[in-house]
């Protein structure tokens, strides 16, 4: 049935067993890239073979990317159609429906949910698609149609921004594919209310991945003073207020994000207990220290300082600096939460950098809890990038 598809082949020294055991990517230096292969249009499908011409599956090809092929289906006879996409969506939806009481979650987590390079976050009757692979960009209308059919959403937004698209050679763009967006969407999570800007906000508008870490922080926040650094739309701060924190201070560089945080606090009836500070997070932490400010719970959830291996060393230094600046802001016996969404920095490297920073900040520590993304962000064990989020919670003495 797929006899008309081009055939691409691994180099003789490549290891096909990784693909057979579930690794979903083929890098450009692992593939025979002759003129015919380089001429395959980005986002097209092909049959992948090992060096002995044995079939490995159906892949999508992008000669412009370092990840030149992504496994779509181990069945070489598979047909990548709207029905095929709908089946993957239905499988993902069944899992989320079991896990969550309300339709607010990550519906598709790329390779881990069988749609390579594709992110879909659901916000009630709306959904945001991030097509970060060329095949998904080419078939985004089919993805949207399958999404409306399977999930019953009416509003579908394409958010085509971010580093991942640039690596695929894709342009940035944002489009409303169906329905309408009248303003920020209210998202209930862990008893808090967040406002998500689905068209102009960062990423898809909200970070669902921190849900279980928000919940753990809530156990530390009741009756406490809380500082949420790199807060975005108030992630940890609003969760703390929902759990009964006496006050939360949110620090972020984006005025728009902080306005959404204040809007969420108003929706919760907690605006009087929220303070926001706009500016560079490092400078704001230094200013708070100069003011003699201390908090019972401090959480820092910065952007990915180490998004790739070449950035790892500098990224770990940045995480260490965050910990060093945050530690003096924690009252004796208080708690410090440190997060990393850098897949290039594994848990051990991030934990060591955090501990060094806390020590350099003059504090002694106990590590209480290690968190990760929630189950709507499943991991593919063969692909470390799907398990990118790490959260460490310390108790500080001294």
Retrieve residue 23's tokens.
């690794």
Q: What is the 3-state secondary structure (H, E, C) of the chain?
A: CCCCCCEEEECCCCCHHHHHCCCCEEEHHHECCCHHHHCCCCCEEEEEECCCCCEEEEEEECCCCCEEEEEEECCCCCCCCHHHHHHHHHHHHHHHHHHCCCCEEEEEEHHHHCCCCEEEEEECCEEEEEECCHHHHHCHHHHHHHHHHHHCCCEEEEEECCHHHHHCCCCCEEEEEECCCCCCEEEEECCEEEEECCCCCCCCCCCHHHHHHHHHHHHHHCCCEEEEECCCCCHHHHHHHHCCCCEEEEEECCHHHHHHHHHHHHHHCCHHHEEEEECCHHHHHHHHHHCCCCEEEEEECCCCCCCCHHHHHHHHHHHHHHHHHHHHHEEEEEEEEEEECCCCCCHHHHHHHHHHHHHHCCCEEEEEEEECCCCCCCCECCEHHHHCCEEEEEEEEC
341 in catalytic set: yes
Retrieve residue 207's tokens.
């970070």
Retrieve residue 203's tokens.
């990423």
192 close to 232: Cβ distance less than 8 angstroms:
no
Retrieve residue 144's tokens.
């949207």
**Residue that is written with structure tokens 């945001």 in the block:** 128
Q: Which of 250, 300, 339, 341 is flagged as catalytic? A: 341
Retrieve residue 280's tokens.
């560079």
Identify which of 204, 230, 254 has the alpha carbon closest to the alpha carbon of residue 326. Answer: 230
Catalytic residues: 341
């Amino acid at each position: 049935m797929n006899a008309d598809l081009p055939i691409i082949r691994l180099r003789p020294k490549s290891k096909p067993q990784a693909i057979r055991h579930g690794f979903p990517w083929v890098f450009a230096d692992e593939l025979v890239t002759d003129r015919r292969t380089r001429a395959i249009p980005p986002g097209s499908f092909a049959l992948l073979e090992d060096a002995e011409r044995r079939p490995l599956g159906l892949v999508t090809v992008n000669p412009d990317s370092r990840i030149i092929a992504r496994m779509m289906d181990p069945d070489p006879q598979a047909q990548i159609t709207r029905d095929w996409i709908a089946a993957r969506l239905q499988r993902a939806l069944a899992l989320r429906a079991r896990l969550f009481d309300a339709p607010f979650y990550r519906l598709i987590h790329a390779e881990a949910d069988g749609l390579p390079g594709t992110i879909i976050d659901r916000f009630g009757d709306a959904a945001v698609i991030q097509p970060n692979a060329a095949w998904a960009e080419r078939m985004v209308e089919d993805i949207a149609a399958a999404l409306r059919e399977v999930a019953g959403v009416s509003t579908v937004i394409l958010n085509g921004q971010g580093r991942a698209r640039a690596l695929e050679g894709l342009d940035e763009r944002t489009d409303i594919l169906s329905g309408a967006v009248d303003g920020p969407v209210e998202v209930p999570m862990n008893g808090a209310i967040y406002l998500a800007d689905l068209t102009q906000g960062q990423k898809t508008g909200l970070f669902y991945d921190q849900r279980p870490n928000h919940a753990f922080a809530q156990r530390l926040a009741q009756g406490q003073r809380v500082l949420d650094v790199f807060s975005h739309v108030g992630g940890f701060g609003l969760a703390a207020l929902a759990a009964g924190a006496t006050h939360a201070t949110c620090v972020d560089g984006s005025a728009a994000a902080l306005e959404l945080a204040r809007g969420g606090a108003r929706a919760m009836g907690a605006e009087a207990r929220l303070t926001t500070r706009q500016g560079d997070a490092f400078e704001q932490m230094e200013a708070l220290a100069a003011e003699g400010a201390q908090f019972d719970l401090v959480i820092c959830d910065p952007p990915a300082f180490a998004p790739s291996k070449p950035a790892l060393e500098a990224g770990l230094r940045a995480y260490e600096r965050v910990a060093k600046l945050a530690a003096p802001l924690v009252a004796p016996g208080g708690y410090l939460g440190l997060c990393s969404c850098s897949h290039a920095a594994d848990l051990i490297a991030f934990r060591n950098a955090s501990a060094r920073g806390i020590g350099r900040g003059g504090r002694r520590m106990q590590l209480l809890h290690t968190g990760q993304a929630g189950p709507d962000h499943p991991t593919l064990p063969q692909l470390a990038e799907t398990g990118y989020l790490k959260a460490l919670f310390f108790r500080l003495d001294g």
